Structure 1
């Protein structure tokens, strides 16, 4: 299907421009939140901690698969989280040779701080929006992220992340 019909070209140009502006601004601010914890956690760390919090302890391969990224990338991104005490490595309960990653109590506390700060930022940025507008924006952004994840998986010949909206 040709998505660039004459009527859509201007709208698609505007959409791609707004996505580029969003990506730049999100990276500039890291959408880090407000207050003392603003800009205090990078995107990779936040997504890894969030995934471990939502899904519980898991091995590197399972974490990588659930996020749609390579195991070596997860290993590299987890190392500083272990070093700073946000994530701990433990033995798998059924196979003591396998390593399981889980949030430490410090990791839970830090993630709660960052989530609260980011929640406050979202409240400020959308303060003049109606609740239904927030829901619509979230639904459309989730749909957009899901489509991006599926496209990336198709190009790479891999399965899409289990929940692309959170990876």
Structure 2
């Protein structure tokens, strides 16, 4: 005898998600593509956010940098440039927020980066008592090498796409990312948590 409890969890979750989307007013023609997108975004997350692509690149290049260190390097650059938030002098506290880790973990990552020569500590020009992080030439060289290898991989991904397809895809991903950020901030506000940006 079989029943709902025998249904595969993924299939059951897909059915439940489809019902939620219908209840929220999504057209039937949009539901399967949205659910397919969820699967594709999992693969994207595994390859990009969870670092499978990065680990492969770092292993190939043999740069002597671990994925956590590389994420720390890119976080320093994002903080300086104001990617997704106002530009700021990178401190360990801001690094913790950018990496979504606790301050003690951020402090260890920063110390590792300094010890490896990828980052240096210095005094803030605006407040000499405050310690800020800055990339060294060695750190910049690591970023450039990984960036070049990453774009070599992405060139393969987008090989055969028309310029119009690339532009449309980029616009939709940007729109999705902005919507995801807004939805997350709304959920944080509902929960009374401070926003991450």
TM-score range (shorter-chain normalised) is: 0.7 to 0.9
Deviation at 1:60, TM superposition (A): 3.4
The aligned residue for residue 159 of structure 1 is 195
Q: Let me know the Cα RMSD of the aligned residues.
A: 3.3
Q: Contact 2:114–2:120 (CA<8 Å) still a contact in 1?
A: yes
Q: CA deviation at 1:160?
A: 5.3
Aligned pair in 2 of structure 1 residues 36, 17: CA closer, same or farther (>3 Å)? closer
Report the CA distance shift for 1:88/1:59 in structure 2 as closer, same or farther (over 3 A). Answer: same
TM-score (norm: length of structure 2): 0.64
8 Å contact from structure 1 (residues 60, 74) kept in 2: yes
> How many matched pairs?
160
Q: Does 1:8 align with 2:30?
A: yes
Query: What are the residue-to-residue correspondences of 1:66-77 with 2, within 5 Å?
Result: 67=98, 69=100, 72=103, 74-77=106-109
Q: In the alignment, which of 28, 47, 63 is matched to residue 74 of structure 2?
A: 47
Q: Distance in 2 between matches of 1:83 and 1:146?
A: 36
What runs of 5+ residues in structure 1 fail to find an aligned partner? Answer: 162-167
Alignment of 1:82-93 (within 5 A): 82-93=114-125
Instruction: Pick the structure with greater CA Rg.
Output: 2
| 1:117 matched to 2:149 | yes
Candidates 119, 126, 136, aligned match of 2:158: 126
Q: Highest relative contact order (Cα 8 Å, sep 6+), 1 or 2?
A: 1
Gaps of 5+ in 2: 1-22, 83-87
Residues 58, 101 of structure 1: 8 Å contact kept: yes
